[in-house]
Every structure is written in C-alpha cells, then in structure tokens.
Amino acid sequence: MEWFETVKDQFFRCFIKDDRYMLLVKGIGVTLKVSLFAIILGILIGFIIAVCNLSKHKGLKAIGKIYTDVIRGTPSVTQLMIIYFVVFATLKWSKWIIAAIAFGINSGAYVSEIIRAGILSIDKGQTEAGRSLGLNGFQTMSRIVVPQAVKNIFPALCNEFIVLIKETAIVGYVGLMDIQKAGDFIKSATYIAFMPLIGTAIIYYVIIKLLNIGLRKIEKALRKSDLR
C-alpha cells in the first residue's frame, strides 16, 4: 500500500498538478508536426537525389554522392544546430519549421538510397517494354517503374518515418517543447525522474504502435494486386 501511495503521489505531482499533462499533449503535437513535414520534405529531396545518383551525368551524380556522404556521415543533432543557429539564424521562422527542414534534409539522404534501391530492383525488361510501347523515358519511369518500385520500398519508407519520429526527440536542443523536452521539464520541476521518463516512453510507444498499424493496412492495400 505504501508503494502504491508513493506512485499515486508521484503521478499526481508529475501529470495532474498545475496541468503538467498539457505539456505532454502540446509536445505530442510538436513531434507529429515536425515529423510529418520532415518526411514529406525528405521524400521530395530523396527522390531528387535518387535521380541524381542514377543519372549518367557526372555533375548530377557528384552532387548526389556528396549530399548523401555528408548528411549520412554527420550526426543529426549537429545538422539541426547548424541549420538552426547558422543557416536560418537571421530568419524569424517558427522553430518547428526550421527543425522540420533540418530533419527533412537529413531524412532525404536515407530516403534517396531507399528510392534508388527500389528503382534498381525493377527488372530492366519493364523499361524496355515501356519504350517499345512508344513511351518516352519520363513516361516509362512515372507510369511503369515508379508504381512498381513504390510497393517495394514502402516498408523501408515506413521504417524511416518511424525512426524519424524517434529522432525528433533532439529538437529540445533548439528550444522546442516536444514530448521528450516536456518530460525533461516535468522532471526538473518535480525532481522525479521515473514517472516523466516512463510517461514519455509510453507516449512514443503508443504513437509508433498506432502508426505501425496504419502503415501495415496501407501496405496490405498496395499488395492486393500481387500474386502470392
């Protein structure tokens, strides 16, 4: 009973008193907002870089290689701080937008390799078939190759989105109140470590679990046309 009363008291102090649970609620909004914007930007950048990496043009290929090497070879927290405190230091943009851009740029390097591998996984005969039907290079890519590649790369893109959500836990470095930062704030205000940390862990777990369920349903719908 004494243990139960202690847990009850800590729960009250961490989440109920002074409406501290609202910090976590707002943190969830920030995390989801940054992650969603970042993955959309990451897919756009990733597709462009993948095209550069697959191009026969030496200049485009060099750009793609340098981009992926630099982004994948440096820590995401370092990239976030460079983009926030250096690149966008003079702009009065919202913190979450700058953070989303930073994560989008980071994600783009990984997404580009996923897309490149997906395109290369499609048999060359598909491209030849498209060209024999009178389609040009762009039409063949957009109507035949890419739709097939999407089904192949969708699980990897889902995994990248999940990883991205967890990586956004570092946005506190630029003063954003996300889930992790909200938990840290509660911990500092109450001098209780266990309850805020477990709370943030549970929130992340639930978000990822729900996301997994939704993405699996989408993947299942994409696979309906496959013969198994």
Q: What confidence tens digit (pLDDT) does each residue in 142-186 have?
A: 777 777 788 888 888 989 999 999 999 999 999 899 999 999 999
Per-residue pLDDT band for 125 (boundaries 50, 70, 90) equals: confident
Q: How much of the chain exceeds pLDDT 70, in percent?
A: 97
Global pTM exceeds 0.75: yes
- Name the average pLDDT for the chain: 89
Number of C-beta neighbours around residue 38 at 10 A: 25
Give the pLDDT confidence score for residue 28 in this predicted structure. 95
pLDDT surpasses 80 at 195: yes
The pLDDT value recorded for residue 169 is 92
Instruction: Walk me through the domains of the chain, giving residue ranges and CATH numbers.
Output: 2-222 (1.10.3720.10)
Is 228's pLDDT higher than 70? no
Q: What are the residues whose beta carbons fall under 8 Å from the beta carbon of 181, sequence distance 6 or more?
A: 27, 171, 172
pLDDT(226) > 70:
no
Instruction: Give me the pLDDT at residue 118, please.
Output: 86
